[in-house]
């Protein structure tokens, strides 16, 4: 990593990202990451980070499973050495990590993670070997009894023989020999059971002395009578050790045969882990994937320096490299100029390392062949360099190395020396960099440089905003105008005596004072204008939202009114059809009687009954006519007609002083003017007795609930179409969106007639034949308006 990247603190960012890694290899890769100058490679790195983020936070995949370093173990296993249980368990963890990563990347078919699939394509794993190790090894020091049948048998024999030996030695603890013992316990020395005997009685018990205590007061004797049993126990333990070594050697040979694949797995897992760590780092800082280009264009939207507290940092928006190649930032001290400059360079380096950046969506960054930076006070006592000298050394390096594809960041060039000479030097450096075609950002306090940026081609002024009323920087970048340094105002805020500040002002030249005041006045005027425009835009947006809401309400009322009208027309058709049918039935019965040549008394009674039924039918009501309501008599509960809606409703409350009332009209509550309300009056029909004239009516029964299906199978066309029309009427009244007409397959004539009727019916939005499971061509599904 070069010095410019360190000055921009890329190493700190990589260290923070590395702390999110699960593997030591992943951490090492991130700490050693270098920004790439290849656009295609930078895009590949960002795509891998995006896919890792998708797997982690959208699909819920787990991170890489942790495992210890295994390189030395794999090398020894390949050479034929037997690995320890701890080393074999580490290899099993590696196999498990590879298997889980391979499976997880391929488990989500609905997301595109092609680069991660390509990265993990050659992962090798052996689930049988992984499970074999896990089954045979209990922990880092012990094998399972069931690692092999022979091991289980040997350990069973060892336990049984040990119990026999301890039982025999218990006789010494409870018999006459107890007085010779130092303690009433059975212990082990060199894999052989012994008893602790007082040193002065060591000849009183026949056996072999195996050890002596540190004080010499106790000797550990193996009695003769357990000698053979201890020998047998020792032999069994040696057999157990040989079996353990055989099992470990067998597992180690299997691991050694996979050394090349497992070493490649280690590298792939470390690389994948580094991208998971990048993704987690980006998620923690609420970062976004930048759009990369190779044209030197940098456009940062609401960027935050990643080392600042994101809860307090003010987002900065800047652009450079498209309309102009260099951005000259001026403004107050502590206003954020240097942070903005460093953020721009750091974002480009982060993207070139495959890291997302803390900014808004749409941020564009370029891949440069080098990011050159001169920031801060680089005074060096050891190298005998002053502040000015160290800046010149860095600028010399920039002028020697920067190309047209480089990004150059210089913080206050020409500082640390005479202001006039420093400004001249800074201008010359800027001219050289502009001629070379570099992109970059320069900060300054020099008025001469600000004036230069107004006339020079390829460079633009920018300023960090400052609130002159509170003497505080706003940390916002404004492109297109220079800013005043406001040094004396800041001195006042920091508590410098006012008389000292006033005296300093008096020493300023008239030109400097006039230029500073002009800049400050222009800046204050611009801030006020922008605030006014912001308020106006907010007000405009508020009114647009209100108008949109009113438009939606109007559309809702229009749709409800149309629904009321459609419902009323359907109900009228239904009533007319029902009354006509009733009349036809009475007339048919009368005609049946009149066709007879000889009338019986029963026929006469029946005819008289029909005549009475017609005479006693209620008179037809006149149409409802609207009468304006009497405002003085209007009260809650009255039924009224709302004129503007052409809908009936019930009065909920009356506000006579305002001339309005609240009305429940169907599903809506509306505030209506009393002048827009009407009562429904009915005129009494006059009875006219005319010979041979008859009025027919019938009492309407409660309408049955609408059905979703009409079955006309077996009917003729003449019989079916009235049924279909009546069925559609009831469906419209019930506000059903979709119904079914079952006409069967047959010859197809009935289906064709129904379809022809539906095409001409204005209440039908569309219709189709049934799908599989709906009745297919024997059913027509109708969608109503």
67-88 CB burial, b ≥16 within 10 A, e <16: beebeebbebbbeeebbebebb
DSSP conformational letter for 187: E
DSSP per position, 17-45 = HHTT-SSHHHHHHHHT------HHHHHHH
Sorted by sequence, the CB contacts under 8 Å of residue 544 that are 6+ apart come out as none
42-56, 93-107, 221-235, 570-584: range with lowest mean pLDDT: 570-584
State the Cα–Cα distance between residues 721 and 618, nearest whole angstrom. 31
DSSP assignment of 284-307: HTT-BPPEEESS--EEEEEE--TT
Candidates 443, 493, 447; CA nearest to 467 is: 493
User: Residue holding tokens 């030249």?
Assistant: 509
Summarize pLDDT for 635-654 with one digit per residue, the tens: 888 888 887 766 788 888 88
Q: What's the pLDDT at 705?
A: 54
The strand ranges marked E within 261-351 are: 291-293, 298-303, 316-320, 326-331
Strands 647-655 and 764-769: what pairing?
unpaired
Cβ(698)–Cβ(578) below 8 Å: yes
Which stretch of DSSP H or E encloses residue 466?
A: strand 459-467
- Cβ pair 314, 474 in contact under 8 A: yes
Helices (H), 175-258: 227-256
pLDDT at 597 over 50: yes
Greatest mean pLDDT range, 261-270, 666-675, 692-701: 261-270
Give the pLDDT of residue 278.
Answer: 96
Mean pLDDT, all residues of the chain = 83
393-418 confidence digits (pLDDT tens): 888 999 999 999 999 999 888 777 77
Would you say residue 101 has pLDDT above 90? yes
CA angle 73, 74, 75 (to 5 degrees): 90
| pLDDT at residue 30 in the model | 95
Give this prediction's pTM.
0.62
CA distance 445 to 451: 11
Cα(344)–Cα(340) distance, rounded to whole angstroms? Answer: 6
Element (H, E) at 125: none
Give residue-wise pLDDT tens across range 70-100: 999 999 999 999 999 999 999 999 999 999 9
pLDDT at residue 121 greater than cutoff 50: yes
> Is residue 706 very low, low, confident or very high in pLDDT (cuts 50, 70, 90)?
low
Task: Please report the DSSP string for 355-421 in residue order.
Answer: --BSS-TT-EEE--SEEEEE-S---BTTTTB-HHHHHHHHHHHHHHH--TTEEEEEESTTTTS-HHH
Per the model's pLDDT, the better-predicted residue between 118 and 559 turns out to be 118
The answer to whether the beta carbons of residues 444 and 426 sit under 8 Å apart is yes
765 vs 718: CA distance, rounded Å:
24
Percent of the chain with pLDDT over 70: 84
Residue 227 pLDDT: 85
Count of other CB atoms within 10 angstroms of residue 638:
17
Q: Beta strands 207-212 and 187-189: pairing type?
A: unpaired
> What is the token pair recorded at 307?
């080392």
pLDDT score for 511:
54
Q: What is the pLDDT of residues 290-312, one digit of tens each?
A: 999 999 999 999 999 999 988 88
Q: 236 burial class (0-12, 13-18, 19+ CB within 10 angstroms)?
A: buried
Number of other CB atoms surrounding residue 120 within 10 Å: 21
Q: How confident is the model at residue 695, as a pLDDT?
A: 46
Looking at residue 593, what is its pLDDT?
72
CB atoms within 10 A of CB 606: 16
Distance CA(221)–CA(211), nearest Å, equals: 8
Please state, in angstroms and rounded to a whole number, the distance separating the CA atoms of residues 647 and 328.
69
What's residue 565's pLDDT? Answer: 74
More confident residue, 428 or 334: 428
Per-residue pLDDT at 103 exceeds 70: yes
For residue 272, the Cα-to-chain-centroid distance in whole angstroms is 21
Q: Inform me whether the pLDDT recorded for 481 exceeds 50.
A: yes
Q: What's the pLDDT score for residue 279?
A: 96
- pLDDT number for residue 702: 45
pLDDT at 93: 95
CB atoms within 10 A of CB 555: 10
């Amino acid at each position: 990593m070069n010095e410019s990247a360190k000055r921009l603190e890329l190493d700190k960012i990589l260290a923070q990202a590395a702390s999110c890694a699960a593997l030591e290899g992943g951490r090492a890769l991130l700490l050693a990451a270098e920004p790439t100058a290849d656009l295609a490679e930078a895009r590949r790195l960002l795509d891998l980070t995006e896919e890792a983020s998708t797997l982690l936070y959208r699909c819920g995949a787990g991170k890489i499973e942790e495992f210890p370093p295994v390189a030395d173990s794999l090398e020894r296993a390949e050479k034929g050495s037997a690995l320890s249980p701890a080393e074999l368990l580490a290899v099993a963890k590696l196999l498990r990590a590879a298997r889980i990563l391979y499976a997880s990347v391929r488990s989500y078919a609905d997301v595109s993670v092609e680069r991660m699939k390509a990265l993990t394509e050659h992962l090798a794993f052996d689930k049988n070997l992984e499970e074999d190790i896990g089954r045979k090894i209990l922990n880092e020091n012990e094998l399972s009894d069931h690692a092999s049948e022979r091991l289980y048998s040997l350990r069973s024999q060892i336990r049984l023989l040990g119990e026999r030996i301890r039982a025999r030695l218990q006789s010494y603890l409870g018999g006459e020999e107890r007085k010779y013992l130092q303690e009433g316990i059975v212990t082990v020395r060199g894999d052989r059971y012994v008893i602790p005997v007082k040193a002065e009685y060591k000849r009183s018990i026949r056996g072999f002395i195996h050890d002596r205590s540190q004080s010499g007061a106790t000797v550990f004797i193996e009695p003769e009578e357990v000698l053979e049993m201890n020998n047998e126990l020792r032999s069994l333990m040696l057999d157990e050790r040989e079996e353990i070594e055989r099992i470990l050697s067998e597992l180690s040979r299997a691991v050694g045969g996979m050394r090349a694949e497992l070493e490649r797995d280690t590298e792939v897992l470390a690389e994948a882990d580094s991208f998971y760590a990048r993704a987690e780092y980006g998620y923690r800082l609420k970062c976004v994937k930048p759009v990369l280009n190779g044209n030197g264009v940098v456009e940062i939207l609401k960027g935050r320096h990643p080392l600042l507290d994101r809860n307090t940092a003010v987002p900065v928006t800047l652009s450079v490299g498209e309309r102009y190649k260099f951005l000259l930032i001026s403004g107050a001290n502590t206003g954020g100029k240097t942070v903005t400059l460093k953020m721009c360079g750091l974002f480009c380096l982060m993207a070139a390392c495959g890291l997302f950046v803390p900014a808004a969506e749409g941020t564009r960054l370029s891949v440069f062949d080098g990011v050159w930076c001169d920031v801060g006070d680089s005074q060096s006592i050891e190298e005998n360099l002053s502040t000015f000298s160290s800046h010149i050394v860095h600028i010399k390096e920039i002028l020697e190395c920067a190309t047209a594809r480089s990004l150059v960041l210089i913080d206050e060039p020409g500082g640390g020396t005479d202001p006039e000479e420093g400004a001249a030097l800074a201008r010359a450096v800027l001219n050289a960099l502009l001629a070379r075609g570099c992109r970059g950002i320069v900060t300054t306090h020099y008025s001469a440089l600000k004036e230069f940026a107004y006339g020079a081609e390829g460079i633009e002024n920018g300023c960090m905003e400052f609130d002159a009323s509170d003497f505080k920087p706003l940390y916002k970048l404004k492109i297109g105008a220079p800013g005043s340094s406001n040094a004396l105002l800041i001195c006042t805020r920091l508590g410098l005596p006012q008389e000292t500040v006033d005296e300093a002002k008096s020493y300023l030249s008239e030109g400097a004072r006039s230029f500073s005041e002009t800049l400050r006045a222009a800046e204050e005027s611009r801030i006020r204008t922008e605030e006014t425009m912001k308020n106006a835009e907010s007000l405009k947006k508020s009114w647009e939202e209100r108008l949109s809401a009113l438009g939606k309400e109007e559309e809702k009322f229009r749709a409800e009114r149309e629904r009321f009208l459609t419902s009323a027309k359907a109900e009228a058709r239904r009533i007319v059809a029902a009354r006509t049918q009733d009349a036809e039935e009475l007339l048919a019965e009368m005609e049946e009687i009149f066709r007879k040549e000889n009338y019986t008394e029963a026929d006469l009674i029946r005819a008289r009954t029909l005549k009475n039924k017609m005479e006693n039918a209620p008179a037809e009501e006149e149409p409802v006519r609207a009468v304006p309501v009497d405002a003085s008599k209007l009260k809650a509960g009255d039924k009224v007609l709302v004129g503007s809606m052409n809908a009936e409703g019930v009065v909920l409350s009356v506000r006579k002083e305002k001339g309005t009332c609240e009305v429940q009209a169907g599903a809506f509550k509306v505030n209506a003017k009393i002048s827009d309300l009407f009562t429904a009056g009915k005129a009494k029909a006059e009875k006219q007795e005319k010979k041979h004239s008859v009025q027919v009516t019938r009492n309407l029964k409660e309408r049955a609930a609408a059905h979703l299906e009409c079955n006309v199978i077996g009917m003729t066309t003449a019989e079916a179409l009235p049924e279909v029309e009546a069925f559609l009427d009831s469906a419209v009244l019930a506000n059903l969106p979709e119904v079914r007409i079952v006409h069967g397959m047959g010859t197809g004539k009935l289906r064709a007639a129904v379809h022809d009727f539906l095409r001409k019916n204005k209440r039908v939005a569309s219709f189709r034949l049934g799908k599989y499971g709906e009745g297919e061509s024997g059913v027509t599904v109708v969608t109503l308006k």
